[in-house]
Amino acid sequence: EVQLVESGGGMVQPGGSLRLSCAASGFTFSSTAMTWVRQYSEDRHEWVATINIGGTGTYYSSSVEGRFTISRDDAKNTMYLQMNRLLPEDTARYYCARVPPPFALGLVPKNYWGQGTQVTVSS
């Protein structure tokens, strides 16, 4: 059974940092491109970042470029999202997801998502 379990969310003040983790199981993590997406409301989602197989390529939305860093540790079957200089508009539920082939940037179908972790940026 494929499982993606996000952790590390919480409440932080503007300008602060959080590190999200995504623990993967049930599939060959090292052979899978991975991505982070965020959900603001039931019908509003945004692609955040993607990392390719091997971690040699990372890609970001313009809204997080320069503030967020996506990474992966294939030995631990875990992906990360380091979020720095957080803004109130970063408040959302963050999901990690598998990227189905062929490799592409952007949102992936919800059946590839984990259960999410809430990030709230507020003073």
Tens-place pLDDT, residues 63-120: 999 999 999 999 999 999 999 999 999 999 999 999 999 999 999 999 999 999 999 9
What sign does the CA torsion over 59, 65, 68, 69 have?
positive
30 contacts 46 by C-beta, under 8 angstroms: no
Cα gap 122→14, rounded to integer Å? 6
In the block, tokens 């945004």 appear at 46
How much is the mean pLDDT over the chain? 97
End-to-end Cα separation, the chain, in angstroms? 40
pLDDT digits (tens, 9 = 90+) for 4-44: 999 999 999 999 999 999 999 999 999 999 999 999 988 89
Cα separations (Å) of 34 from 40, 63, 110? 20, 19, 13
Cα separations (Å) of 99 from 16, 43, 66, 83? 29, 20, 22, 21
